[in-house]
């Protein structure tokens, strides 16, 4: 179990660094909006798995539903309704709805499922 946690911590650090790099240096129409969304779903997943390393069969689905809910709140737009002007919070919560983001979240969730199977097999945790 400890080995699985170490793997999840390492994965979270790498993914967080990638997200920061994308946020700071990628100013395009694919990497930042879509690849970043795929990675954020994976990052959320591995962060939860640090604390709960045992197999959780519905975690991927739960993270996907959370991401979809977050995207749907951008239709309102919730950040404006709540009067949030802090730039960091606006980026985290999002300010505009996009169907492509939902596809990216789904792709990230599929990757979560596959990588989880691989990590659990490699670490010997079940």
pLDDT tens digits for 98-125? 999 999 999 999 999 887 778 667 766 5
CB 26 within 8 A of CB 36: yes
pLDDT at 57: 79
Domain that holds residue 56: 2-123
Distance between CA atoms of residues 53 and 6, nearest Å: 10
pTM summary value: 0.84
pLDDT at 120: 67
Of 49 and 119, the one with more pLDDT: 49
Residue 85: pLDDT above 80? Answer: yes
Q: Which two tokens stand for residue 40?
A: 């954020």
If one counts the domains in the chain, the total is: 1
């Amino acid at each position: 179990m400890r080995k699985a946690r170490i793997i999840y911590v390492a994965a979270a650090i790498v993914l967080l660094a990638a997200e920061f790099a994308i946020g700071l240096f990628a100013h395009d129409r694919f990497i930042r909006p879509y690849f970043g969304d795929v990675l954020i779903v994976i990052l959320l997943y591995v962060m939860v798995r640090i604390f709960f390393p045992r197999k959780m069969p519905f975690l991927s689905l739960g993270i996907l539903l959370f991401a979809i809910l977050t995207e749907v709140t951008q239709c309102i737009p919730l950040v404006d309704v709540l009067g949030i002007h802090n730039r960091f919070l606006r980026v985290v919560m999002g300010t505009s709805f996009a169907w492509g983001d939902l596809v990216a979240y789904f792709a990230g969730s599929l990757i979560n499922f596959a990588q989880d199977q691989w990590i659990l097999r490699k670490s010997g945790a079940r």
